[in-house]
Amino acid sequence: MKVIKDSVHDHIHVDGVARDLLDTPALQRLRRIKQLGTVSFVYPSANHTRFEHSLGVYHLACQAIEHLEVEGKRAKRVKAAAMLHDVGHGPFSHNLESLTYRRTGRYHDDVHDLLADGEVGEVLRDHDLEPDTVADLVAGEGRFGQLVSGELDVDRMDYLVRDAHHTGVPYGTIDPGRLLRELAFVDGELVLEEGNVQTAESLLVARALMNPTVYSHSVARISKAMLRRAAERLLDADDDVDATTLQRMDDADLLVALRSCEATADLSRRLDQRDLFKRAVWAEIDAVPGGVIEADHEKIREFEREIADSAGVDDEAVILDVPSRPSMTESSSRVMVSGEIRRLEQQSPLVEALRAAQYSQWRLGVYTPAELRDRVGQAAVEVLGLDIDGALVSEVRNGDGLETTLDQFVD
């Protein structure tokens, strides 16, 4: 048995199929993929990787399995799925996921091919596990899939505490031991036992606070948008790199590829030197026409060209960043109340409130080099048909109370 020291869970014991999986290239690659992508531009200590997170998820899965008294092959399968749940991530984790999905039709949790092939497939079969069944668990399918990917999964329990530990932001400090101890299967559904409405709420609240402070901090969003744009140009400019190749890169591969390709040299230099675009527009949801919110990728690229045109600047100098509508997975986590299964949103007034908060935190952004901010901002307001109040950054910065995050490095 291997014992691995982890800065979050202390000693993690790894054996059986998990130990053999650890030595596969697919898992070792995760050592070179940052858990939070560009968030380290905001929180410089946030350099943790998908590898240590995978170990943590495996560790919590083992505890959950023991508590739920799952045994034999079924247990082995869940452990393998926990360890492997993130092997499908591309460089910089979620940062490029929308891009690669557009071109491959595949999200990071679609790992049927990855698990069937190569050393991972061999290890699974050596341990008498069917790769497809493990991949189903990773996709959250079936009863035990809920443990690996669902509203009450061990993935969430690990990343909230781990991201809190590494960013230094205390809001993610939930109590995984408490959560695990209260898990149960009722009628095939993973639920929290009686008396845990508040336990479920704590998970919801932790994510709701980490979201604007960490995951969607404006600087993390700007740098992510720049990275995504650069990666898209790379795919278009370099015949040797297609979306599937990109998805199998690690962070180092991508950084160096962007440096070497002429079409991405400028964005790459900006990212390397943290010479980031600034917000020309930062608009609330009510200020944005529905057509813009629902625009697909092609439409967004078109808007960008129109804005650039209207502002008289180069196409490359404008990035339009339209987040999807807010959602809250945890709202449907299940809790036993008076002997019946209830979805958290039926039970807790917090769900609705946090949903409202998410809407009020939603922002459309238009990013551009600092010196073009005014021109691009005005053009964007016109082209997108934004309600001008609360959209322009000059106004934002003088106090509309919407920047609810640590102003680190923001200027």
Residues 348-367 that bind a copy of itself (CB under 8 A): 348-350, 352-354, 356-357, 360-361
Closer residue to a copy of itself (CB): 64 or 379: 64
Residue 296 tokens read as 């697909």
Binding flag, residue 329, a copy of itself (CB under 8 A): no
x/- track of binding to a copy of itself for residues 51-90 (CB under 8 A): xx--x-----------------------------------
Enumerate residues 148-207 that contact a copy of itself by CB under 8 A.
165-171, 173-175, 177-178, 181, 194-199, 201-202, 205
- Cβ proximity of 88 and 42 under 8 Å: no
Closer residue to a copy of itself (CB): 188 or 339: 339
Closer residue to a copy of itself (CB): 254 or 311: 254
Binding flag, residue 129, a copy of itself (CB under 8 A): no
Figure out which of the listed residues 98, 126, 256, 385 binds a copy of itself, where binding follows CB under 8 A.
Answer: 256
Sign of CA dihedral 101, 105, 110, 114: negative
Binding flag, residue 336, a copy of itself (CB under 8 A): yes
Q: What is the dihedral of CA 106, 156, 221, 139, to 10 degrees?
A: 10
Residue 59 CB, nearest approach to a copy of itself (Å):
12
Q: Which stretch binds a copy of itself (CB under 8 A): 74-82, 140-148, 312-320, 338-346?
A: 338-346
Binding flag, residue 253, a copy of itself (CB under 8 A): yes
**Residue 215 in 3-state DSSP?**
helix
Residue 252 CB, nearest approach to a copy of itself (Å):
4
Residue type, 129: L
- 249-266: string of b/e by CB count within 10 Å (b at 16+)? bbbebbbebbeebebbeb
- Cβ proximity of 285 and 387 under 8 Å: no
The residue whose two tokens read 């053999």 is 20
Binding flag, residue 49, a copy of itself (CB under 8 A): yes
Question: Among candidates 389, 387, 390, 393, which has minimal Cα distance to 373?
Answer: 393
- 369-405: string of b/e by CB count within 10 Å (b at 16+)? beebbebbbbbbbebbebeeebbbbeebeeeeebbeb
Q: Which stretch binds a copy of itself (CB under 8 A): 75-83, 130-138, 232-240, 340-348?
A: 340-348
- Cβ proximity of 231 and 255 under 8 Å: no
Closer residue to a copy of itself (CB): 39 or 139: 39
The residue whose two tokens read 């990013």 is 367
Figure out which of the listed residues 60, 255, 317, 344 binds a copy of itself, where binding follows CB under 8 A.
Answer: 255
Enumerate residues 363-402 that contact a copy of itself by CB under 8 A.
398-402
Enumerate residues 262-321 that contact a copy of itself by CB under 8 A.
272-275
Closer residue to a copy of itself (CB): 73 or 397: 397
Residue 391 tokens read as 């959209």
* Number of amino acids touching a copy of itself (CB under 8 A): 89
Enumerate residues 8-37 that contact a copy of itself by CB under 8 A.
8, 10-11, 23, 25, 28-29, 31-32
Residue 306 CB, nearest approach to a copy of itself (Å):
30
Figure out which of the listed residues 18, 37, 48, 157 binds a copy of itself, where binding follows CB under 8 A.
Answer: 48
Helices (H), 139-217: 142-148, 154-167, 176-181, 197-210
Distance CA 218, CA 206 (A): 19
